[in-house]
Amino acid sequence: MTRYFADAREFVPILLQGVWLTIVVTFASLVLSTLLGMVWALMRVCRVRALQQLAKGIVNAIRGVPIIVQLFYIYFVMPELGVTLTALQASIIGLGIAYSAYQAENFRAGIEAIDKGQVEASESLGMSWGLMMRRVVLPQAVKIILPPYGNIMIMMLKDSSQASTITVAELTLKGQLIAASTFKYTSVLTMVAVLYLVMSVPLILFVGWLERRMQRARS
Amino acid sequence: MIELVDVHKSFGGVEVLRGISAEIGRGEVVCIVGPSGSGKSTILRCINGLEAYDGGTVTIDGVRVDRQSPGIKSIRTQISMVFQRFNLFPHRTALENVIEGPVYVKGARREDAIPRARELLARVGLAGKADAYPAELSGGQMQRVAIARALAMQPKAILFDEPTSSLDPELVGEVLAVMRALAEDGMTMVVVTHEIRFAQEVADRVLFLDHGTILEGGPAKQVLTRPQHARTQEFLRRVLRPI
């Protein structure tokens, strides 16, 4: 145990550099996936058939390819097409795109859960589609979307570890490197796991709080 | 003002409207009665373009109603609708529901829209409920807010789609009273309803609809007390049967 603490004193500062990158990757890809997901979702529910089909195709293509393959594609294949990205940029874009599909499905489910009568009332007031979305549908859909959104945040935090596969020195890769060079797998990987847990717990509590709040709002 | 000429409409092979022709003049109150599934609501929904129709024409003051055309929004600001299930915006207070159309669709200033909305809420007997959310109101109160919301658009006509059908019986009267007052003020109203007595007292004309056609139409008294058609007689006998 004392040896573990000695290791911790030595390795945690290095791991914390990884934690910082993990947070950067998670936050940036969360923002990107939310924006892209909103675009796909609005295309799915808009009244132009071609856009609906296009969004459906995009979401299915993204969902059907493993995240790690998407990351490899952006980091290793894009340079051949003339687009060279740093590992960090590639990981943020890759995770952002990969998760935009799940974000889109969540947003769409929330939008489609709104009573048809709300759409008719908006139309009968002469609202345009955009105004109806902004003033009537989305404000109500947010309450349905938020709890699953919190879960997606937690999943993204953990999946940011996949950035390690394209050399982003975030928490997982840092841990791997330290463990491989010191052979102290047990203590290093335990620290890595604990650090992820420490980052997840606030998110988990936040989701729980959201769900309780939504429960109250419904009753 | 509202004119329907030979309007046809099918839902997946089932013809709900089979050649509807009718004219509703300014200030007129027309009730549409008839059995469920006869196409009553569909007529209203074709008038403000919530539903597309397959044949014939619907015009408002000579302008053709076309769900697909960009002009539909301007028609909808002129023709308001009150729904069976109220369809108030649940995330906004009664007052916010009423100013939503004037402020966000017609571009009125909030400072102008709010006092007007308060007047309208007072007119439907809900002066004290401006800050209540729909969930805090009874069905009758919600429907009266919905009527205030419709009035706030300063429409040429209001379409009522079974406005009392989802209300508890003891709440029907308060909504009908508001509608009666509107009729007395000269509002043009098209009302789909099962309230035969209301139709008798308030309507200028009644249209009896069955299987997508207008079987008979005319002054309310005539259609409701001396119906010519056997189908109308049978319907009224069943609706008005003493308990």
Question: Can you tell me the ipTM of this complex?
Answer: 0.91
Start-to-end Cα distance in chain B: 40
B241 — pLDDT class (breaks 50, 70, 90): confident
Q: What's the pLDDT score for residue A219?
A: 43
CA B104, B106, B112, B113: dihedral to nearest 10 degrees? -60
Q: Is pLDDT above 70 for A217?
A: no
Q: Which residues contact B145 (CB under 8 A, 6 or more apart)?
A: B86, B88, B94, B97, B98, B121, B124, B126, B129, B134, B137
Q: Is pLDDT above 70 for A216?
A: no
A127 touches chain B (CB under 8 A): yes
Q: Which residues contact A49 (CB under 8 A, 6 or more apart)?
A: none
Q: Provide the 8-state DSSP code for B65.
A: P
* Ordered strands of the B188-192 beta sheet: B79-82, B157-161, B188-192, B29-33, B205-210, B213-219
Q: Provide the 8-state DSSP code for B156.
A: S
Between B76, B89, B90, which is nearest A124 by CB? Answer: B76
Rounded Cα gap, residues A95 and A102, in angstroms: 11
CB B64 within 8 A of CB B137: no
SS3 label, residue B4: strand
Between B74, B80, B100, which is nearest A135 by CB? Answer: B100
In chain B, residues with a C-beta closer than 8 Å to the C-beta of A130 are: none
Which residue of A47, A114, A116, A124 to mutate against B (max B Cβ within 10 Å)? Answer: A124
Over the stretch B58-73, which tens digit does the pLDDT of each residue have? Answer: 999 999 999 888 889 9
- Tell me the HSE value of B132 on the side-chain side, using a 13 A CA sphere: 14
Chain-centroid distance of CA B184 in Å reads 16
Rounded Cα gap, residues B32 and B204, in angstroms: 11
Name which of B161, B168, B100, B101 is nearest B137 in CA terms.
Answer: B168
Tokens of A8: 């911790």
CA B228, B229, B235, B236: dihedral to nearest 10 degrees? 0
CB contact under 8 A, B87 and A120: yes
Among chain A residues, the shortest Cα distance to B90 is held by A140
In chain B, residues with a C-beta closer than 8 Å to the C-beta of A135 are: 100, 104
A48 touches chain B (CB under 8 A): no
Rounded Cα gap, residues B144 and B128, in angstroms: 13
Over the stretch B2-59, which tens digit does the pLDDT of each residue have? Answer: 999 999 999 988 999 999 999 999 999 999 999 888 889 999 999 999 999 999 999 9
Over the stretch A85-136, which tens digit does the pLDDT of each residue have? Answer: 999 999 999 999 999 999 999 999 999 999 999 999 999 999 999 999 999 9
DSSP B104-133: IIS---HHHHHHHHHHHHHHTT-GGGTT--
Tokens of A51: 């856009």
Rounded Cα gap, residues B155 and B110, in angstroms: 19
Tokens of B32: 């549409």
CB contact under 8 A, B76 and A123: yes
